[in-house]
Chain A
């Protein structure tokens, strides 16, 4: 197929950085959402922003779509390639360019993993706050695209609250700097979370945070999920903003137990992981309060981590939960929805009803503090019709979230997976207005097309665009 384009790509990139071998192309056919697959037309592995820009300009010239890919851990198919396009992979852009502790910032390339930033500054007492569970692998570029959060974003916010500037290759192939320092529109804020549809981040300035003086992690076991829910409400009601409050239900605990032997208290219908951090005296005072609240809400066992190892042991069950359900079910869908915290009990009851109605099991793992649910919908793909039923339940859960004033995604993004749900949450006017931003950045709709929005908005005439049929159009793909 794309001999012509591949040839031109090899003029701007080293030979081996342009992949057209079908076997190698297949390595990139999906991201973490494995049931959407497409073999990319070409894969490129640029090392510099200039190379990325050159590739994007060629895509413009040939009018072919391009998709950025970081580590491919995305769970909404955002990095799903186009068979008629170019996949731009950032795996060779992995340098930490500078660290300035006094200014509390680091400049990194987009392929750097989330955890690598923290590792580079940990010994000095700093860290990079957003901490998705995938942080060992996922790239900072992917985090930017998804506005990733993590367990600790309840207190510390998301990627968008921790990025100070970025260098971007626009869909036109220009290299532009977006900085919170500059006057003008907050394009930095608009870019973060745009899922690769507004261009490719090639250099990122992140804010570093000072590590807290004290951290206390506790695990509280409840016989019922309602008990855990009551504790969460009471903690927030008491004016405490913990670093994290995570909850798992019985089925999720069972899975984690089977996978990593986390040894959570036997008989627990729900466990709550609460982490408090900050100045010593504050953490102590808050801990006493949280401890009392949990007991009053019916906790039958409370464990407190006395060391870093014990803290890890508490987190182990929670962090492994997604993968762990593989131990108790042949197949599963990871859902990601959000509800106002006060609606949690209602929504969980609703999920229970769905389980009964459809005969499908759902394990619940969630960031309870901010109402972000990760229901894991279990099914057996060998049983006919079960996959469809699971899909239906998964969609109904999103409906529940929307009915309760929530969102169809709290952190995994819309991607290809949820584009069709967007009209349930937003009107046509809402979606069209958002796409005005898209039209400003990418009027020809080449940057990760087909993601986020169910239907593209026609952008109308763009000044300085060449008219008439494109010279290469006929020969392509």
Chain B
């Protein structure tokens, strides 16, 4: 029955195969709509037949997050991938959300412009980026998807199509659904079109990178002070990233400088990074070294590797404190990477997780225990710890949320029958 109704929409629909799963839950059908109207037609059928729906972008993050309570229909947006409107003079582009970020930026590069967002996962679609609110190193200067989206078209669970915002950068008419849908993990509806504010491509980019040794179990640099000073530098770095692995020789900090004056700015930043008052080294003269280069370090903007991925958010003055907390948490095999200037990091842990969560524990701590212990420390820094992906067991994935009740109420209004990716989001939303 549902299959016939789905077919009647005229949209390409196929029976799901073994690969069509969301966090391990097998879907029944996969639809490949090519327009907002087709998505609306599909969702109307889904509403009539009480089908649970999960929108799919590049499929790169489908295994992130908790499994859906049920999943009948995958709405795969891969064929909804056109650039609908591009006005270089307005620095604005309107796209269908199935286009990949890379493809879009290739298109924009012809006019020397870019959508200043990055995804740590290759093949990410613009819609996937919006729905997960992912960001890369340059969030420090340009913000996250919610800061650059200026208009959206969404299709709700009952098939209603709605727009908010528009195609002008400055616009305060009505509520901003773009913000609400950004980071909503497909639980409120399907974002089918989005309009973004663009930036001119910087004429030059330089990276300044320094690696500080590990002295005892502390870095050979006052990381907290360094991060604060770099963030406050009037050389205006576009990004300040930290990379620290259990098995790397130390702590690497790299800053990105963009624009015509990049060389002068890089020199200013190099001096901050090698300031002997806050950094020490094992080199003969005791001074830390920083290299300026035209390409980023190889880890730049990539996900740290590990079976379990956690996100740490702290006030930007707490980068040093995060490292301190982790260094004394007896983790093994971890990698911490992220924006020291914004206070947003990803922490990768190996599967089966660390030997122990406490020094005295003989038996391996479960992932859940480790996560809860780390969370306690991070929340004490006025921060949050989220479990992004991986086998986290019974751990609470989200941490403290001040407005969970309001969020539930929003969900209840947008998707009263709980058919949009049910169970995939905070508090079981």
Contact = CB atoms under 8 A, between A and B. Distances in A.
B234 A440 contact: no
Contacts of A100: 315, 317
B180 A190 contact: yes
A405 B167 contact: yes
Interface string A417-428: 010001001110
A432 B175 CA distance: 11
Nearest to A185: B407
Nearest to A338: B168
Contacts of B168: 338-340, 370-371, 405-407, 410
B404 A184 contact: yes
A81 B375 CA distance: 45
B23 interface: no
Interface string A363-397: 00001001110000000000000000000000000
A179 to B, nearest CB: 6
* Most chain A CB within a 10 A radius of its CB, from B179, B182, B200, B398: B179
B394 interface: no
Contacts of B183: 185-186
Interface in A132-154: 146-147, 149, 153
B410 A187 contact: yes
B209 to A, nearest CB: 20
A411 B172 CA distance: 6
B351 interface: no
Interface in B143-171: 143, 146-147, 154, 156, 160-164, 166-171
B411 to A, nearest CB: 8
Contacts of B410: 185, 187, 436-437, 440
B231 interface: yes
Contacts of A281: 260-261, 264-265
Contacts of B423: none
Given A183-B398, A190-B175, A441-B409, A433 B200 contact: no
* Most chain B CB within a 10 A radius of its CB, from A146, A194, A239, A341: A239
Interface stretch (A102-110, A293-301, A303-311): A102-110
Contacts of A210: 231-234
Nearest to B232: A210
Interface string A260-298: 000000000000000000111110011000000000000
B401 A104 contact: no
Interface stretch (B84-92, B281-289, B360-368): B84-92
B383 A434 contact: no
Contact of A189 (B91, B171, B176, B398): B176
B406 A440 contact: yes
B180 A185 contact: yes
Nearest to A341: B90
B235 A430 contact: no
A116 B160 CA distance: 44
A407 B402 contact: no
Interface in B406-429: 406-407, 409-410, 412-414, 425-427, 429
B67 interface: no
A170 interface: yes
B174 interface: yes
* Most chain A CB within a 10 A radius of its CB, from B231, B318, B407: B407
26 contacts: A125-B232, A158-B170, A177-B402, A183-B397, A183-B399, A184-B398, A184-B401, A184-B427, A185-B410, A189-B176, A239-B200, A241-B199, A279-B236, A282-B265, A340-B168, A371-B90, A371-B169, A372-B170, A407-B168, A407-B171, A407-B173, A408-B173, A409-B172, A410-B171, A430-B163, A431-B174
Interface of A: 100, 102-105, 125, 146-147, 149, 153, 157-158, 160-161, 170, 174, 176-179, 181-187, 189-190, 192-194, 210-213, 233, 236-237, 239-241, 278-282, 285-286, 338-342, 367, 370-372, 405-414, 418, 422, 425-427, 429-434, 436-441, 452-453, 459
4 A-B pairs closest in CB distance: A189-B179, A239-B200, A177-B402, A433-B162
